[in-house]
Amino acid sequence: MGYIQKSKRKAYLLIGFFAMLLCGISDCLLSYMGDGEPHVLAGIISADIVNVPLWYYQASFVIGIIACVGYLLASRAACFYILDRQNGDRTGLYKAFSFGTTMMSVGIFGIHSICCMALMNVRAALLAGASADSIATYFTQSALVPFTVGTIWQTTADIISGVAFIVMVAKGKIPVPKFFIVIGPLVLYVICKVAAAVLTGVTGNSIFSHVLGGGESWGIAMMFLAFYFAVRKEK
C-alpha cells in the first residue's frame, strides 16, 4: 500500500478500530464449539456443536473479511504516522511493528477462514451421521497442518506487533496515556482470559468464556484508538 496522507489517517484508524471491535464479537461467536462429551479434534470441539447455530460461523467468516480490510488500512496509517514522526528513520522498533502488522493483516482472515471452515465442516459431518471417532481420525489429519500454520502465524504476528506497541507507548514514541498498554494488544487478552477463567470457576457458568472471548481483537481495537488520538494531536 502506498503512502497514506495525513488527512486520511484518522478515518483509516477509526475504520480499523470499529472493524476490530466487530472482530472481537466474531471471536466470541467462534468460541462456541459445543459442550460436553464426546469430543472431536483433540478434545477442542464437542459433538454438541450440532446445537450451535450455523450462522455463528457464517457471520464470523464475513466479519473476518471486514476485519482484515479494516486492520490493513489502520495498520498502514499507524505505520506511516510513526515513520513521519521519526522523520523517515526506519528504526528497529518501527520495522518490528511494520513487520508484525503486515503479517497480521493476512493472518486475521487466514485464521478466521480456517477456524470457520473447520467448525462448519465438523458440524456438517456430525449432522450427516459421521461418528465423533471417525471425525477425530480423518478430519484431524487434514485440518492439523493449516490450523497449526495459521495459529503460529497469527500468534507470532500478534506478539511482534503487540510488544512493539507496548514499547513505543512506554517510551513515549506514541503520545498517549500509558493506560493504553493495559487495554491494548496482549495485555487485554490476558486480562480477559484470566477474568473468564475466574468467573467461570466461581459461577460454574461457561458464558463468561464466550462473552470475554474477544480480548485479543478488542486490544488491537484499542491500539488503533490510541493511534487515532495521537494523530489528532498533530497540527
**For range 13-37, the mean pLDDT:** 92
* Residue 178 resides in a domain: no
* Residue 73 resides in a domain: yes
DSSP state of 176: S
Is residue 69 very low, low, confident or very high in pLDDT (cuts 50, 70, 90)? very high
CA distances from 104 to 78, 159, 177, 227 (A): 14, 10, 25, 17
* Residue 34 resides in a domain: yes
8 A C-beta contact, residue 100 and residue 186: no
In this predicted model, what pLDDT tens digit does every residue of 169-199 receive, in sequence order?
999 999 999 999 999 999 999 999 999 999 9
* Residue 103 resides in a domain: yes
8 A C-beta contact, residue 130 and residue 121: no
In this predicted model, what pLDDT tens digit does every residue of 123-171 receive, in sequence order?
998 999 888 888 878 877 777 788 888 888 889 999 999 999 999 999 9
pLDDT for the residue 1:
64
One-letter-per-residue 3-state SS of 93-107: HHHHHHHHHHHHHHH
Which range has highest mean pLDDT (5-19, 42-56, 124-138)? 5-19
* Residue 201 resides in a domain: no
Residue 185: which of 199, 203, 204, 165 has the closest Cα? 165
d(CA 100, CA 81): 16
Q: Which domain holds residue 15?
A: 6-161+221-232
* Number of folded domains that form the chain: 1
Does residue 235 register a pLDDT over 70? no
pLDDT for the residue 200:
92
Residue with the bigger pLDDT between 138 and 70: it is 70
* Residue 195 resides in a domain: no
Is residue 81 very low, low, confident or very high in pLDDT (cuts 50, 70, 90)? very high
In this predicted model, what pLDDT tens digit does every residue of 87-117 receive, in sequence order?
888 989 999 999 999 989 888 888 888 888 8
Does residue 218 register a pLDDT over 70? yes
Q: Classify the phi-psi angles of 130: left when phi > 0, otherwise alpha if psi is within -120 to 50, otherwise beta.
A: beta
* Residue 170 resides in a domain: no
pLDDT for the residue 65:
92
100, 87, 166, 10: CA torsion to nearest 10: -80
d(CA 11, CA 9): 5
CA distances from 207 to 80, 82, 99, 166, 210 (A): 40, 39, 36, 30, 5
pLDDT for the residue 228:
97
* Residue 199 resides in a domain: no
Is residue 34 very low, low, confident or very high in pLDDT (cuts 50, 70, 90)? confident
8 A C-beta contact, residue 59 and residue 29: yes
- Report the DSSP beta bridge partners of residue 17: none
Task: Give the relative orientation of helices 92-127 and 54-85 as an angle to the nearest 10 degrees.
Answer: 170
Question: Following DSSP, what letter does each residue of 12-60 receive, concatenated?
Answer: HHHHHHHHHHHHHHHHHHHT----SSSEETTTTEEGGGGGS-HHHHHHH
* b/e per residue 138-164 (b: at least 16 CB within 10 A): ebeeebeeebeebeebbeebbebbbbb
- Report the DSSP beta bridge partners of residue 40: 45
